[in-house]
Amino acid sequence: MTVTGTESSLVDDLLDGKHRALARVITKIENRSPGYRDIVSALHTHTGTADVIGITGSPGAGKSTLVDKLAKSYRDRGETVGVIAVDPSSPYTGGAVLGDRIRMASNVGDMDVFFRSMSARGTLGGLSTATADAVKALDAFGKDKVIIETVGAGQNEVDIVKTADTVCVLVQPGSGDDVQMLKAGILEIGDVFVVNKADMDGAERTVAELEEMIHMRENPAAGLDTGHHGPVDEEEMAEVALDEQDEEAWDPRVVETVATDATGVDELLDTLGEHAEWLHETGRIDERARTRYAEEIRQLVRADTAGLLEEVIEARGGIEALADRVLARETDPYTVADELVEPVRECVDEELER
């Protein structure tokens, strides 16, 4: 795609490192403003250098405070940081209070930490697309690290963190028994688990439960190693298996932190670094990116075809008129859907020469 006029100068300004342009580009992405697609297209070639870290966890687990300290530590190591914090919005009014910024106290006045709040924006859908596009903007801007922070409460949030290279799940001590951990879907996507507020009672138990859960997930037999020495050939086999595992699989880690006083943050940073290294060494980084791009293309195509079909619905008198006919028993939903999709199907048949 080619960019023209305002879009083009916005892209140039963003690549030049102007914060205002970066902020404006993210707004356009959020609003799906005319021209936003051209901008994201133009930025794409400039992306791919940032390490993208997704952080999720239940409300009150300390995500924002930890993100603040992470950003600070990255800055101390001379790296620049972009943060996107996603908060829910009201499905009724569309309004939202985006409160995570309050906890970014360690990075005050440091423009090299670019913090941006995003809301879920209810019916617009495709929040994960908007977030992924915002990540691209920060990546193209030249941020070394991009952190996506979101409340882990449902599928939507899981989708968002999937746009990250490394997914970090925050758990606070005493957040339930071990069955609770087995239930939670977000636990399946973590590369690194952080037990924050590790100075609280029950932290040790939570760590132990997480370790157990991880080993059960990895391999039903892996957690059963009792440490006893077996016959030689078995030991050798175990070593071979271990070597293979080292090369191939990532064993999720459990890290303890106390975000309020930055305890454990350096260890977490190192662990995140190790995961990034593993991604590059094993080529998983490309594998993950390929999966992401495939999903992104699918989402865009779905959204675009849905848009085309909306036009067809409008041309046939609007969705309400159609529903009225179904209500009056003149027709039924399946027949209506068939009729609406018919023109699209014809085009597809023609395109595929069937």
Partner 1 sequence: MSTQERETGRQIRCLIAKVGLDGHDRGAHVISRAFRDAGFEVIYSGLHRAPDEIVQAAVQEDVDVLGISILSGAHNTLVPKIVDGLKEYDAFEDTLILVGGIIPDDDREELLEMGVGAVFGPGTPMEETIEFVRENVHDRE
- The site for partner 1, by CB under 8 A, has a size of 34
- Site mask for partner 1 (CB under 8 A), range 121-150, x = bound: xxxx--------------------------
The one among 1, 9, 17, 19 contacting partner 1 by CB under 8 A: 19
Nearest distance in Å: CB 82, partner 1: 10
Residue (104 or 214) nearer to partner 1, CB: 104
> Nearest Cα to 55, choosing from 148, 175, 136?
148
The least distance separating partner 1 from the CB of residue 252, rounded to whole angstroms, comes to 32
Q: How far is the CB of 44 from partner 1 (least distance, A)?
A: 22
Residue 181 in contact with residue 209, Cβ under 8 Å?
Answer: yes
Enclosing H/E stretch for 191: none
Residues 79-98 that bind partner 1 (CB under 8 A): 89-90, 93-98
Long-range (24+ apart) CB contacts under 8 A made by 179-184 are: 181/209, 181/210, 181/213, 182/213, 184/152
Answer for which of 78, 102, 334, 354 binds partner 1 (CB under 8 A) is 102
Among 3, 7, 14, 24, binds partner 1 (CB under 8 A): 24
Of 16-24, 171-179, 253-261, 278-286, the window that binds partner 1 (rule: CB under 8 A) is 16-24
> Cβ 276 to partner 1, closest distance in Å?
25
Which helix (H) or strand (E) segment holds residue 189: the answer is none
Q: Which two tokens stand for residue 105?
A: 């106290």
| Among 78, 111, 232, 351, contact with partner 1 (rule: CB under 8 A) | 111
Does residue 328 bind partner 1 (CB under 8 A)? Answer: no
Strand order in the sheet with 51-57: 113-119, 81-87, 145-151, 51-57, 166-171, 192-195, 253-256
> What residue type is 353 in one-letter code?
E
**Of residues 185 and 318, the one with the C-beta less far from partner 1:** 318
Among 37, 44, 46, 101, binds partner 1 (CB under 8 A): 101
Residue from 27, 155, 180, 219 that binds partner 1 (CB under 8 A)? 27
Question: Long-range CB contacts (< 8 A, 24+ apart) of 306-310?
Answer: 308/344, 309/340, 309/341, 309/344
Q: Is 40:133 a contact under the CB 8 Å cutoff?
A: yes
User: Could you give the CA distance from residue 42 to residue 24 in angstroms, rounded to a whole number?
Assistant: 15
* Residues 256-315, interacting with partner 1 (CB under 8 A): none
Q: Give yes or no for residue 69 binding partner 1 (CB under 8 A).
A: no
In angstroms, rounded to a whole number, what is the distance separating the alpha carbons of residues 85 and 98? Answer: 8
Taking contact as CB under 8 A, which single stretch among the options 19-27, 50-58, 64-72, 141-149 is the one that binds partner 1? Answer: 19-27
How far is 253 from 274, CA to CA, in rounded Å? Answer: 10
d(CA 325, CA 254): 58
Binding site for partner 1 (CB under 8 A): 19-20, 23-24, 26-27, 30-34, 89-90, 93-99, 101-102, 108-109, 111, 114-117, 119, 121-124
